[in-house]
Chain A
Amino acid sequence: MNKLRFFWHKVGPVVTVLLVIIAIWYVATVWLNSAWAYDKAKRADTTISFSQMVSDTMIQDKPLLPAPHQVIKEIYKTTVLKKVTSKRSLIWHGWITLSATLLGFAFGTTFGILLAIGIVYSRAMDMSVMPWVITSQTIPILAVAPMIIVVLNAVGISGLLPKAIISMYLSFFPVVVGMVKGLRSPDQMQIDQMRTWSASKNSSFWKLRLPSSMPYLFASLKIGIAASLVGAIVGELPTGAVAGLGARLLAGSYYGQTIQIWSALICAAILAASLVAIIGTIEKYTLRRMGIQL
């Protein structure tokens, strides 16, 4: 009984919001697709009743906004019913995007942490690097992505790596910002304490600064992994829609396949939510083991 209550306590709010979104979605579907339904009837020189119009808005081939069940059916068709190796499988496309995301995230996190260490330990880097880091994020990624693809292609690098680099470009930023703050989070007393033990910079880093920065790092990683996914998808757009969720989005928009676009979008959202949830779980476990109460 208690377990059930606990379950609803956690899941209840999420389900409620989901139901509200789906309800709004259905209303919007009817509203946005009705024009096409009436138009069709007009061209056929017939009139349709309201209920006929509503049922038509749910089954159009290229609706302005596909109904939720159309998207779910499409996702089911392209995941469960297709072989994973098929080019029509969303799982196959999703994996391509995911692999670029994870590689880019690994690059971005490593680069971000190294940059943060440099900024915290070197005054020159503190003064010079941070403005550039911020500037890098004010440039629209959509403008930078094709150049990275083209330049790397010219030197013979294509496929996973260019996408991972674009993904890294977006994900290192929150890590730098979070880690600089995290590595500087020990208070004056803790730093003085290290001094009284005449601790080396090395020991202060490994024993004080790095552990202190963990809560900040995890907050950054959650933003970073979501940014990585966006980067990977954006990186797939200029490659001519070969593979990946980004390619599905682009191909869908070329041919007006709105159902395909929306199912790729939903898959990307589910992927992002799962990645953030995984990091959240690792965070909870790690910080609890470190005796830090959230």
Chain B
Amino acid sequence: MNNPVISANKLSLTYQTNDGPVHALQDINLDIKKGEFVSFIGPSGCGKTTFLRVIAELETPTNGTIQVNGMSASEARMQRAYGYVFQAAGLYPWRTIGGNIKLPLEIMGYSKEQREERVAHVLELVELSGFDKKFPWQLSGGMQQRASIARALAFDADILLMDEPFGALDEIVRDHLNEQLLKLWARTQKTIGFVTHSIPEAVFLSTKIVVMSPRPGRIANIIESTLPRDRSLDIRESQEFLDIAAEVRDGLRTGHADE
């Protein structure tokens, strides 16, 4: 039970380019426990998205090991251990919202009844019940992103990886979705890895904040949040919240200082 769900050990990833090697990730050591909400924050080029992609086996590390659910990342991907939410909703325009959520279920061979049942369930989770017959273009950007989260939740993966899912949305919608995401996390007990470049978003959502710095991409600081799991948007006014945010900002600054 106490075994980490995701465990990176001396992980490095180097791209060979025409201008010489690029160290996207260097010497990453990180354990993520079950049920944690971990945010990755840092400037662009710090490797936060790359690390998420390594967990998902969309990239292969050049050195070190990564374990997901106690297996290699490749085995975990084959067993569909995680749902991945991309920056863009990426819904298929020719499928309805329900059809889009069914897509991974069809691929994974769920029966028709199971598909219907799960679509209804996850639409309820992201508060989109009744929208299953609508087409993506009939929904706002925020609703589309919620539908894409529903799609990632539809199958039995207890890890949810999110790569700046709300990056393209305005702040009011983003606040609302952040609150919803916390509720969803509480209800589903999933382990969440969340990439962002917003300090308030990272502090508000996470139980653990991984601050990263670029060139080479590495972990500058890991901050365990002292905020209670059950939190509302008001918490952002509290001193505790501001202290953690300051700590994150410090970490980001130190990461930049040695450039």
Measured CB to CB, the residues of A under 8 A from B are: 189-190, 192-200, 203, 207-208, 211, 289-293
CB < 8 Å neighbour of B104 from A197, A200, A290, A293: A197
A203: B residues at CB distance < 8 A:
106-107
A189-B90, A203-B107 known; A196+B136 contact, CB < 8 A:
no
Interface centre among A198, A208, A211 (most CB of B within 10 A): A198
B84 and A211: CB pair below 8 A?
no
A197: B residues at CB distance < 8 A:
80, 103-104, 107-108, 155
- Asked if B11 is at the interface of the complex by the 8 Å CB criterion, the answer is no
A198 and B77: CB pair below 8 A?
yes
CB < 8 Å neighbour of A193 from B84, B93, B136: B84
- Closest CB in chain B relative to A148 CB, distance in Å: 40
CB < 8 Å neighbour of A196 from B58, B87, B93: B58
CB < 8 Å neighbour of B94 from A193, A194, A199, A292: A292
Count residues on chain B whose CB falls below 8 Å from chain A CBs.
27
- Closest CB in chain B relative to A218 CB, distance in Å: 14
B90 and A196: CB pair below 8 A?
no
A196-B56, A207-B106 known; A189+B80 contact, CB < 8 A:
no
- Closest CB in chain B relative to A214 CB, distance in Å: 8
A211-B92, A290-B94 known; A196+B84 contact, CB < 8 A:
yes
**Docked pose: A62 CA to B104 CA in angstroms:** 69
The interface bits of chain B over 142-176 (1 if a CB of A lies within 8 angstroms of the residue's CB, else 0) are 00000000000001000000000000000000000
**Docked pose: A197 CA to B82 CA in angstroms:** 8
Measured CB to CB, the residues of B under 8 A from A are: 53, 56-58, 77-78, 80, 82-84, 86-88, 90, 92-95, 103-104, 106-108, 135-137, 155
**Docked pose: A200 CA to B109 CA in angstroms:** 11
12 A-B pairs with CB atoms under 8 Å apart are A189-B86, A189-B88, A190-B90, A193-B84, A196-B56, A196-B82, A197-B103, A199-B107, A207-B103, A211-B94, A289-B94, A293-B137
B80: A residues at CB distance < 8 A:
197-198
A194: B residues at CB distance < 8 A:
107
A192: B residues at CB distance < 8 A:
53, 58, 84, 86
- Closest CB in chain A relative to B71 CB, distance in Å: 13
- Closest CB in chain A relative to B75 CB, distance in Å: 10
**Docked pose: A290 CA to B137 CA in angstroms:** 12
B58: A residues at CB distance < 8 A:
192, 195-196
A292 and B93: CB pair below 8 A?
yes
B93: A residues at CB distance < 8 A:
290-292
B88: A residues at CB distance < 8 A:
189
A211: B residues at CB distance < 8 A:
92, 94
**Docked pose: A194 CA to B137 CA in angstroms:** 21
A196-B56, A291-B135 known; A207+B107 contact, CB < 8 A:
yes
- Closest CB in chain B relative to A204 CB, distance in Å: 9
B77: A residues at CB distance < 8 A:
195-196, 198
A190: B residues at CB distance < 8 A:
90
B78: A residues at CB distance < 8 A:
198
Q: Which residue of B lies closest to A291 (CB)?
A: B93
B107 and A193: CB pair below 8 A?
no
A198-B77, A199-B107 known; A193+B86 contact, CB < 8 A:
yes
- Closest CB in chain B relative to A192 CB, distance in Å: 5
- Closest CB in chain B relative to A96 CB, distance in Å: 39
Q: Which residue of A lies closest to B109 (CB)?
A: A203
A293: B residues at CB distance < 8 A:
137
A196: B residues at CB distance < 8 A:
56, 58, 77, 82-84
